[in-house]
Amino acid sequence: MAQVSASEIKVPPLKKLTNYPEKLAPGHRLCAGCGASIIIRQIYMVANALGYELIWANATGCVEVCTTIYPYTSWRSPWIHNAFENAAATISGVEAAYKALKRKGKLPTDKKVKFIALGGDGGTYDIGFQSLSGALERGHDFIYVCYDNEAYMNTGIQRSSATPKYANTTTQPVGSKSLGKEQHKKWMPEVAAAHGIPYVAQVSPSHWKDFMEKFKKALLTEGPSYINAFCVCPRGWRSKEEEGILIAKLAVETNYWPLFEVENGRWRVTYKPKNPKPVEEFLKRQGRFKHLFKPGNEGRIQELQEEINRRWEWLNKMEEMTREE
């Protein structure tokens, strides 16, 4: 596996990045305040700056539906949708065929191309999990990007295994006897890392420099990478459209969404808030957690805080254990 020589390649400053042409065309039908388009545009900025052409396989979900309402498309790149459960399998085929055609001299060999599979949390954590795991294990040269908005938003806010405990969803609704989802969120990037792949990172569009640095590494990685991106959903989270990036920031500042990476087996927490904010700061701006602020539910917030602390400590331990001497 080729070593990532990321430090030698610099992502240009933001001002320069905005000069590149938009590859995700406006006019798509994602909701106001949706985090997904921000994530995709940040990905394109890095790819543009580094001269990569992106080829996408998009799982069924909000992005797929909203960016490709026939006869329109927002994608100024080759893009394929197959089904809900198989973005990683589809990109596996595309990548393998591309390699074969290149080998046979039927495609130019000097082009910088990267294959990306894009899925929401449903298409990644749940129904697309088997396909993702297979592609990571086979070692295709691709990046899997999950825009994690923590529920099935495309079909109407049903819970997923990425939904945090106590969030209100239509299939684990809050009521007089129910506090919403009963299980904690799956630690998906950690699961991806357990495949022993060269690069895994968790990112948030609020911390764009960190995001870009990580996506740059993913681009430069030969073999599979997995990127888990925090994606606000004002519709599903019952949050204000204009507060998306603020909520993303709070997710990071409360350690709810730790920014970390796993590079060739070495774990690194890439941002450590000096004084982490209590999780309430993150929860209180979202209607999906409204019930937790009713008297008597203080313990539930504490429980979420403990889960955050548990993961945070675990990540820091992993960092310590795998630190280069």
Partner 1 sequence: MAKLELKYGNHACAEAAILAGCRFYAGYPITPSSEIAEKMAELLPKKRGVFIQMEDEIAAMGAVVGASFAGLKSMTATSGPGFSLKQENLGYAFMVEAPCVVVNVQRGGPSTGLPTQPGQQEIMQSLWGTHGDKLIPVFYPGNVQEIMEETIRAFNWAERLRTPVVLLLDEVLGHMRETVDVEQFEEGKFEVWNRKMPDVPPEEYLPYRPGEDDVPAIAPYGTPGYRGHATGLHHDYTGFPTTNPEMCQELIERLIRKVQRKQPEMEKNEFYKMDDAEIAIITFGTTARAAKTAVDLAREKGIKAGLMRVVTVWPSPEKTIEDVAKGVEAILVPELNMGQYVLEVERCSRGACPVYRLNRANGKIIYPNEILEKVEEIARGGK
Binding site for partner 1 (CB under 8 A): 60, 81, 83-85, 122, 125-127, 129, 152, 154-156, 158-159, 161, 170-173, 175, 177-178
> Quick one: 34 or 174, whose CB is closer to partner 1?
174
> Quick one: 171 or 270, whose CB is closer to partner 1?
171
Tally Cβ neighbours within 10 Å of residue 177: 5
> Quick one: 149 or 172, whose CB is closer to partner 1?
172
Nearest approach, Cβ of residue 122 and partner 1 (Å)? 7
Nearest approach, Cβ of residue 119 and partner 1 (Å)? 13
Nearest to 44 by CA among 53, 32, 33, 57: 53
Nearest approach, Cβ of residue 123 and partner 1 (Å)? 10
DSSP 113: E
Nearest approach, Cβ of residue 151 and partner 1 (Å)? 9
> Quick one: 92 or 172, whose CB is closer to partner 1?
172
> Quick one: 161 or 297, whose CB is closer to partner 1?
161
Backbone angles phi, psi at 63, to 5 degrees: -60, -45
How, if at all, do strands 113-120 and 142-148 pair? parallel
Cis before 71? omega within 30: yes
Nearest approach, Cβ of residue 30 and partner 1 (Å)? 17
Helices (H), the chain: 14-17, 36-50, 62-67, 87-103, 121, 129-138, 188-193, 208-220, 234-237, 244-253, 280-283, 298-321
